[in-house]
Every structure is written in C-alpha cells, then in structure tokens.
Amino acid sequence: MKSTGIVRKVDELGRIVLPIELRRTLDIAEKDSLEIYSDGSSIVLKKFENACVFCGSTKEIVHYKGKNVCAACLEELKAT
C-alpha cells in the first residue's frame, strides 16, 4: 500500500471525505458504490463493480440466484 500523506478526521456520524485527487485518480464519481473490507487493522475501500464470481470479468454480467456471472462463464456452465 502506498501512503498519500493525506489525513482526514472521522465526523460524528462516522463519515470521512475522500479527497478529490484520489477520486479523480481512482475514477470514483458521485453516487458510485464502494466496497469496504478490513485487512487486519486496515480498512480498504474499493470501487464496486459487478463482476463475475468465477473469472472476475465485468463484461456482459447476468444475475443468477443472487450471483453475478458473465456470459462466457454462463456458456461454459451450460456446456458441462
């Protein structure tokens, strides 16, 4: 992980502001969803993208029984 040197305080509702420089660099726009992970004592934020549970592709995603599956993996599953 690379430190940006930017420090923000958590407000009384538990919110922080992501600096515009980071949002531009990471292509995070208003109303984008972020996934929140914990890794030991660290908090990791990742831009949420619907991705295939099998291969991670973000193209041609189909929702099946609450899971995201891409068209290619869906075809492969049908063939088995």
- Tell me the per-residue pLDDT of 50-59, one tens digit each, with 9 for 90 and over: 889 999 898 9
3-state secondary structure of 24: helix
Query: What domains are there in the chain, each with its CATH number?
Result: 1-48 (2.10.260.10), 50-80 (no CATH)
pLDDT in tens, 27-41: 999 999 999 999 999
Helices H / strands E in the chain, number of each: 2, 4
Residues comprising the chain, all counted: 80
Are residues 71 and 64 in contact, defined by beta-carbon separation less than 8 angstroms? no
E strand or H helix that includes residue 22: helix 20-25
Residue 47 is which amino acid? K
The pTM of the full predicted model, rounded to 2 decimals, is 0.60
Residue 1 is which amino acid? M
